């Protein structure tokens, strides 16, 4: 067998050199064959996106001003009513997220009132003439400069109609151009974006750039009279390409030198064999015990692989032993729990039968003994932990018959079984403690006729049984604490409702934490809900 160093060192160096040269050649070819021709298309897509955003901004704000105008349909648009109208516009401005410099209204004679409390005549302004004489409901002005603060603004004006659809005035919104300027400023640092009007004058942005690269113009909506311009200097993309080529060359040289030095210091470079062992170890970490079947001519790896496979065999045997011990422990726990439950009810029932036999010579005694026999025939069957749902229902019925003798007409109960196969397997002696709990809290404590409902139904593949009784004084905090303990699957020492915790722990031991018992309260009805798998 060959030593690992002789197998790997020289081959890795040769393979790395070939790979780097191949990657460098492909990179340079790709730049000149694909990147440069596609750059124009990428820039066009960028411009279309920018223009689309600006058009959408204009469209949104136009519709918003039009919406404001509809709010003044029943208002008097005049100078006498300007305080009320400006207050309403000021309210719109404060509630809006739009960056308005101001809002205002214009009377039919061209007098404009603005929320900054100024008023002036706009009859000679081009946008007013266009709005007044044209058929458009909304007119957008050119970029103008505010006389008060020198901010660049765009005016959007909309007609106000009365109920007969006659023009009664106009709404004006002066919008700041910060959104558009931010869009143009957020392009790449060396890019230059600006807007120009029909006179080829720059109205937004900076056009101080010597055009020696890519120059693209895109018209906005026709009624805006604005064009978006993007200039990209030739030096930008040429420098980018040059830097990319230089980086590839430097990276290739550095990588070759580093690889050469590192390879000389590495005695063992594990490739395929170690990867195979790593996969096998990862599966072991996730609980899948598999031997590594990889074979190689390297002596060191064969020794390592043999030791690993031997370790997997030992782990598997240990896990099997642990599993068997766990099953034995669960079985012992269940039997111990059964043993704790049985005497509790046996003594109470015998006391009831004894009292009846003493007071009456009645056939009810015979019936009580018969029900008791059925009850213990099922509960004392230690050889079986899983019985049918039908047997569990018979067991509870016998229990209720016995309790009926004790509580007489005070105990009222009913069964509601909804499309459930009664021959399905069921964990023995889990329903009776829930019914006993309902009798204690709903009959014994209240001492009045309050019916107990036992509801059995199927939820997906699981069997759900709900025992419902009346409970006048309910401590919701106490119920929450009990549910938290039930969810943990533990049976606390000295806790009331031992049978409830016992049943919950047995179910979780048998089937897992997704099954068990929980409590809830609905309109003074206390519900114990038990879930067991249906298969």
- Domains of the chain: which residue ranges? 42-232, 261-337, 340-533
Backbone angles phi, psi at 294, to 5 degrees: -65, 130
Residue-level pLDDT at 266: 53
Arithmetic mean of pLDDT, 465-477: 84
pLDDT tens-digit profile of 85-94? 999 999 888 8
Class of domain 340-533: alpha beta
pLDDT tens-digit profile of 512-535? 889 999 999 888 788 999 999 977
User: What residue has token string 């030593």?
Assistant: 3
Kindly report the pTM of this predicted structure. Answer: 0.41
Q: Do domains 42-232 and 340-533 have the same CATH topology?
A: no
CA distance 495 to 161: 76
CA distance 215 to 231: 5
Which pair of structure tokens corresponds to residue 422?
């009664």
Q: With a cut of 70, say whether residue 197 has pLDDT above it.
A: yes
Do the Cβ atoms of 295 and 272 come closer than 8 Å? no
CA distance 106 to 168: 9
Residue-level pLDDT at 1: 44
Please, which residues bridge with residue 525 across strands?
A: 470, 522
Mean pLDDT, the chain, whole residue set: 80
Q: With a cut of 90, say whether residue 226 has pLDDT above it.
A: no
Do the Cβ atoms of 334 and 510 come closer than 8 Å? yes
Arithmetic mean of pLDDT, 451-474: 89
CA triple 178-180-182, angle to 5 deg = 65
Residue-level pLDDT at 430: 92
Residue-level pLDDT at 5: 56
Q: Is 489 left (phi over 0), alpha (psi -120 to 50) or beta?
A: left
Do the Cβ atoms of 336 and 505 come closer than 8 Å? no
Class of domain 42-232: alpha beta
Arithmetic mean of pLDDT, 20-32: 75
Q: Which residue has the higher pLDDT, 1 or 131?
A: 131
Do the Cβ atoms of 102 and 208 come closer than 8 Å? no
pLDDT tens-digit profile of 318-353? 878 887 877 777 776 666 666 555 555 665 665 576
Do the Cβ atoms of 514 and 532 come closer than 8 Å? no
Identity of the highest mean pLDDT range in 80-84, 274-278, 283-287: 80-84
């Amino acid at each position: 067998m060959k030593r690992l160093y002789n197998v790997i060192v020289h081959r890795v160096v040769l393979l790395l050199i070939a790979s780097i040269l191949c990657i460098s050649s492909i990179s340079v070819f790709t730049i000149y064959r694909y990147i440069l021709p596609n750059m124009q298309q990428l820039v066009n897509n960028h411009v279309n996106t920018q223009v689309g955003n600006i058009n959408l901004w204009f469209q949104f704000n136009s519709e918003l001003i039009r919406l404001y105008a509809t709010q003044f349909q029943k208002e008097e648009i005049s100078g006498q009513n300007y305080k009320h109208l400006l207050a309403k516009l000021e309210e719109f401005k404060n509630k809006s997220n739009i960056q308005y410099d101001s809002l205002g209204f214009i009377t039919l004679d061209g007098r404009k009132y603005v929320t900054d409390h100024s008023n002036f005549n706009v009859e000679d302004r081009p946008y007013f003439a266009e709005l007044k004489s044209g058929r458009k409901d909304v007119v957008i002005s050119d970029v103008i400069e505010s006389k008060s603060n020198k901010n660049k603004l765009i005016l959007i004006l909309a007609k106000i109609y009365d109920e007969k659809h006659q023009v009664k005035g106009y709404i004006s919104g002066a919008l700041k151009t910060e959104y558009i300027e931010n869009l143009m400023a957020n392009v790449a640092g060396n890019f230059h974006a600006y807007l120009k009007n029909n006179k080829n004058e720059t109205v937004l942005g900076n056009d101080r750039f010597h055009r020696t690269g890519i120059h693209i113009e895109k018209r906005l909506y026709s009624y805006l009279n604005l064009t978006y311009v993007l200039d990209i200097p030739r030096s930008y993309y040429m420098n980018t390409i040059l830097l990319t080529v230089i980086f590839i060359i430097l990276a290739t040289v550095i990588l070759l030198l580093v690889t050469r030095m590192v390879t000389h210091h590495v005695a063992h470079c594990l490739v395929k064999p170690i990867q195979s062992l790593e996969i096998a170890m990862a599966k072991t970490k996730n609980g899948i015990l598999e031997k590594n079947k990889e074979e190689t001519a390297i002596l060191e790896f064969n020794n390592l692989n043999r030791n690993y496979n031997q370790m997997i065999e030992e782990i598997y045997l240990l896990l099997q032993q642990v599993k068997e011990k766990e099953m034995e422990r669960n079985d012992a726990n269940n039997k111990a729990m059964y043993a704790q439950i049985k005497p509790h009810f046996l003594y109470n029932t015998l006391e009831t039968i004894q009292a009846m036999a003493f007071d009456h010579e009645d056939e009810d005694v015979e019936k009580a003994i018969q029900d008791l026999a059925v009850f213990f025939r099922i509960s004392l069957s230690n050889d079986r932990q899983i019985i049918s749902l039908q047997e569990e229902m018979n067991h509870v019925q016998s229990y209720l018959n016995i309790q009926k003798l004790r509580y007489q007409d005070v105990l009222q109960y009913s069964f509601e079984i909804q499309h459930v196969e009664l021959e399905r397997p069921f964990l023995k002696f889990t329903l009776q403690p829930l019914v006993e709990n309902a009798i204690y809290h709903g009959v014994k404590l209240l001492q009045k006729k309050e019916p107990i409902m036992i509801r059995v139904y199927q939820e997906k593949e699981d069997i759900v049984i709900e025992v419902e009784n009346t409970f006048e004084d309910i401590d919701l905090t106490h119920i929450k604490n009990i549910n938290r303990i039930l969810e943990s699957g533990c049976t606390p020492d000295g806790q009331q409702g031992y049978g409830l915790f016992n049943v919950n722990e047995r179910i979780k031991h048998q089937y897992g934490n997704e099954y068990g018992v929980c409590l809830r309260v609905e309109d003074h009805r206390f519900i114990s809900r038990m879930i067991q798998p249906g298969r």
